[in-house]
């Protein structure tokens, strides 16, 4: 859930997903970013949209990938988090840098296991391996593998998903 800016690295996440066959076997990807309903006047956003469409085509993501336009309705955003949580998904915030990380706090508050950039505020919000996971946006292959490892562990032992979910909720309530 972000603007479709380079710094948010949403297209980076889509590329990590597209390149990782095991991740694609384990989970689908839902991206909430930009506004697909209208043509942007912002040159950076236009470039990111073009890149996104190219990645969808290059990696043949149809059927495994859903791109939803950014939502301004807070209730609808909360429902999106809950739907992903209810289906035992996870939240990934792949930004190059994030000053605070409101979406990280929102996702963890909903009980979503959360993967977020190690650059900026999320590095202080998440305790790696206990309440979520730090990922390095400059090492997308490694970030994708961290996500794969989480879902493989959760598949083998469903209580693992719950452990990280509860760890995130505990961290939010404590801090």
- What is the model's pTM? 0.95
| Assigned token pair, 120 | 């900026």
Taking only the tens place, the pLDDT of each residue in 101-127 is 999 999 999 999 999 999 999 999 999
What is the pLDDT, as a whole number, of residue 73? 83
Please give the mean pLDDT across all residues of the chain.
95
- Write down all domains in the chain, each with its CATH number in brackets: 6-174 (3.40.50.2000)
**Does position 97 have pLDDT exceeding 80, yes or no?**
yes
What is the pLDDT, as a whole number, of residue 114? 98
Rounded CA-CA distance 127/49 in Å is: 33
| Assigned token pair, 2 | 């972000």
Rounded CA-CA distance 153/26 in Å is: 11
Per cent of the chain over pLDDT 90 is 87
8 DSSP assignment: G
């Amino acid at each position: 859930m972000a603007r479709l800016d380079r710094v948010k690295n949403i297209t980076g996440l889509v590329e990590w997903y597209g390149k990782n066959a095991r991740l694609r076997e384990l989970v689908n990807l839902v991206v909430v970013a930009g506004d697909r309903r209208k043509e942007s006047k912002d040159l950076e956003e236009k470039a990111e949209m073009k890149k996104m469409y190219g990645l969808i085509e290059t990696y043949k993501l149809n059927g495994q990938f859903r791109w939803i336009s950014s939502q301004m309705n807070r209730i609808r955003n909360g429902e999106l988090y809950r739907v992903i949580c209810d289906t035992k998904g996870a939240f990934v915030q792949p930004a190059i840098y994030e000053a605070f990380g409101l979406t990280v706090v929102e996702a963890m508050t909903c009980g979503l296991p959360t993967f977020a950039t190690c650059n900026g505020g999320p590095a202080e919000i998440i305790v790696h391996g206990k309440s979520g996971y730090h990922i390095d946006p400059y090492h997308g292959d490694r970030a994708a593998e961290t996500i794969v490892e989480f879902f493989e562990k959760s598949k083998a032992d469903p209580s693992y998903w719950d452990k990280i979910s509860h760890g995130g909720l505990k961290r939010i309530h404590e801090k």
